[in-house]
Amino acid sequence: MDSAIAGKIHLKHEPVSITLSDNKPDKAVQFKPGKHACVMSLLATAAKGRAAVASRNTVTCPGGGTGLGFGNQYLNLPGGIETFCRFLSIGAEGDEAAMQMTETMKPFLTEETYDSFRYGERYRKIPELVKQFVDLLPITEIPAQYVIFKPLRYVDPVQELPYVVVFLADFDQLAALVVLANYSRESNENVFVPYAAGCQSIGIYPFREAQSDKPRAVIGMVDISARVQMRRQLKDDLMSFAAPYALFEEMERDVPGSFLERRSWKQLMKLKGLEG
């Protein structure tokens, strides 16, 4: 499946199809069971041209498991949701029970992750606000065994359709995607930016939108930890733009005759050394 949008905005990295399935592609990249790894690396793998797959058995990061629709995986942390609430905020330091829990987990953690559990990631000011954050997430149990990340060009629309299409875009490309998502809509707010983990912005948030009659796109990569991961893998300053498939189709139909064929966009591309 080709994307007219990707060509018009000069996308550097492959658009990524996300599908839900009980069957995984042959030779797809996946994490080894029990190995801690970031779900965003699966997105990066697909953006670089290879299929990748996630399941409940291979995603050990509780944020990643929750983000991909495998239920509330925060509950499975040692110490439960309270451990996560301290992890995302102030950390275990200063609380005897929390420190004991952190020291118990230490042999299974990287030095970086241990530091985050002990001192906190500080993405929320206090644990109570983390609890509210979790309560507001559109947590879901997907009706499939696998979440599959695949370069869009490898998707055969006769055999499968994406559930969500993710663009990894620089800021000019992101601006174009936002304009295009609103191009033929009567409303002005067809794209939104939730405070969420990187995986949640390509998973459960667009998964929820896919159930809507007028699905919106979700901008992600405001997650600093996810940005570190993607910088390591793709070396670029990128945001994610996740469009439920119905919106993606709408945007693709709207390319001909749109601003992407007019002077301002072509001038902007020329300033970047690209053909409009």
Q: What are residue 42's phi and psi, to 5 degrees?
A: -70, -40
Residue 54 CA to its chain's centroid (Å): 13
Instruction: State the sign of the Cα–Cα–Cα–Cα dihedral 154, 157, 160, 161.
Output: positive
Instruction: State the sign of the Cα–Cα–Cα–Cα dihedral 23, 21, 155, 35.
Output: negative
The half-sphere exposure of 154 on its side-chain side, counting CA atoms within 13 A, is 19
97 pLDDT higher than 90: no
Find the distance separating the first CA and the last CA of the chain, reported in whole Å.
Answer: 22
Whether the model clears a pTM of 0.85, i.e. scores above it, the answer is yes
* % residues pLDDT > 70 (the chain): 100
Mean per-residue pLDDT over the chain, rounded? 95
37 pLDDT higher than 90: no
Domain ranges of the chain: 4-60+141-266, 72-136
The half-sphere exposure of 15 on its side-chain side, counting CA atoms within 13 A, is 31
Residue 81: how many CB atoms within 10 A of its CB? 17
Residues 219-273: tens digit of each pLDDT: 999 999 999 999 999 999 999 999 999 999 999 999 999 999 999 999 999 999 9
Residues 152-187: tens digit of each pLDDT: 999 999 999 999 999 999 999 999 999 999 999 999
Strands lying side by side in the sheet with 52-55? 52-55, 146-151, 16-21, 164-169, 239-244, 217-220, 191-192
Mean pLDDT of 16-32: 94
The pLDDT, as a whole number, for residue 237 is 95
